Amino acid sequence: MTARPNYDLTTIRQQDLKHHFHPFTDFASFKDTGSMIFTGAEGAYVVDGEGRRYLDGIGGLWCVNIGYGREEMAEAMAQQARQMVYYSSFGHHTSVPAAQLAAKIAELAPGSLNHVFYGSGGSVANDTAVRMIHFYFNRLGQRSKKKIITRHDGYHGSTYLTMSMTGVAFDHIGFDLVGDGLIHRVSSPNTYRRPEGMSEAEFLEHLIGEFRAKIEELGAENVAAFFAEPIQGAGGVVVPPKGYHRRMADVCREFGVLYVADEVVTAFGRLGHFFASESVFDMVPDIITSAKGLSSAYAPLSATIISDELYDVLSVPQAEGAMFTHGFTYSGHPVCCAAGLKNIEIMEREDLCGHVREVGPYFETRLKELQALPLVGDVRGSHFMLCVENVADKGTKALLAPEIAIGKRIASECQKRGVLVRPIGHLNVLSPPLTLTRQEIDVLVDALATSISVVA
């Protein structure tokens, strides 16, 4: 880890405050406190400008799966930059890593998901999926089939379209959304917050019935696709009732609706498999979108992975010459693809999926201990994607007033103890690098437990 020697932290802080418009930022507190400035990172740790070291329980933003400071990642990217930094992949051009990575992703992806469209992040991957789906149904002559169903508390990105697909109500405050009745929503499969008196089995039936009714209400001839994260992430690490995704996929098949698994967080190891859809949830979607762990955040990279069936329709030449006119300057960027390839090579060589399957249950068990604390209403998630829900009253599950900012207060106590956890409203979310050892898990969980007790 080499720190940049020639800067002055006070100047950096001022430059940042004055000129850096941060995403998803509460400017009221930001203007008082400014930013934590990170200057180094290695393994599962990040280091700030004052030299303080933190165990990163957030994994950057659910993305630094292989951990920080990997020399061979830097070398693979530098080597590609020296060799052939860029050429567009529009039309009849490609690069060695773009082709090799597509083949590798196809090998790892389930079913006939054999075709990879590259982008620069999860929002772009989901936006691309919608454009593909609309183009697909247009080509099939089913021009009315356009509506997209998503779920409350689902997160699909921050472009105009993907934020409209997102079902996190807080994220919509102050914005307009895409109109024309394009996006529709069904319930989040949140078992902790299911209706009073409903068993989990009844809740599952309720969700399936609601979805079916929604398609019937809109008319199956108008519904193109259902988008769902295998485990809802930013919406609260919501693990659905057992069998949910299979059953939702069955309804999709019945009505000719495409199923898109948004695996931007869950793919590339977080749940102990390269893709969670089939390995964990026993279903094969028509499209998987992925980003984050695909390159472990060493470079911006996403993949929209589609089935043979979709590809055959999208790629068939048309008499009038119309083609899938969609793509980005940086689709298949060689340096980003080189990062993706090396990232997967490291994951396979170190069997990081196996490691997550082995220590993930320990992580879950340790975190479940926090359930005994007065403030903790629920502890949920799976493997390296976990969350604590803090409440005012465990019996009624009532929330604390938003101005108490309980998630943030707990996160800042953790920070004092050298650990970073993510606050999302009243939640604290954990998504560390997949390399975490049992000892590091103990440090993380113990710091969180102490922090929750301190603020209670």
Residues at the interface with ligand PLP (CB under 6 A): 121-123, 126, 155-158, 229, 233-234, 262, 264-265, 291
- Token pair listed for 284: 């094969």
| Angstrom distance (rounded) from CA 74 to CA 51 | 23
Pick 297 or 436: Cβ nearer ligand PLP: 297
Look-up: residue for tokens 């996160």? Answer: 411
Report yes or no: 269 and 435 within 8 Å, Cβ to Cβ.
Answer: no
Pick 331 or 451: Cβ nearer ligand PLP: 331
**CB of residue 431 vs ligand PLP: minimum separation in angstroms?**
10
Backbone angles phi, psi at 4, to 5 degrees: -70, 125
Instruction: Tell me 371's DSSP state.
Output: G
| Angstrom distance (rounded) from CA 300 to CA 340 | 10
Backbone angles phi, psi at 374, to 5 degrees: -60, -30
**Residue with CB nearest ligand PLP?**
122
- Token pair listed for 230: 């295998």
Pick 126 or 277: Cβ nearer ligand PLP: 126
Instruction: Tell me 350's DSSP state.
Output: T
**CB of residue 162 vs ligand PLP: minimum separation in angstroms?**
7
- Token pair listed for 219: 């008319």
Report yes or no: 65 and 301 within 8 Å, Cβ to Cβ.
Answer: no
**CB of residue 230 vs ligand PLP: minimum separation in angstroms?**
9
Backbone angles phi, psi at 66, to 5 degrees: -90, 0
Pick 158 or 279: Cβ nearer ligand PLP: 158
- Token pair listed for 218: 């809109």
Which pairing describes strands 147-151 and 223-228: parallel, antiparallel, or unpaired? parallel
**CB of residue 454 vs ligand PLP: minimum separation in angstroms?**
29
**CB of residue 154 vs ligand PLP: minimum separation in angstroms?**
8
The beta strand positions in 281-331, using DSSP E, are 287-290, 302-307
| Angstrom distance (rounded) from CA 67 to CA 296 | 8
**CB of residue 385 vs ligand PLP: minimum separation in angstroms?**
10
Pick 52 or 172: Cβ nearer ligand PLP: 172
**CB of residue 228 vs ligand PLP: minimum separation in angstroms?**
10
| Angstrom distance (rounded) from CA 170 to CA 30 | 18
- CA 398-400-401 angle, to 5 degrees, is 120
268-294 as b/e, with b when 16 or more CB fall inside 10 Å?
bbbbbbbbbbbebbebbbbbbbbbbbb
**CB of residue 172 vs ligand PLP: minimum separation in angstroms?**
15
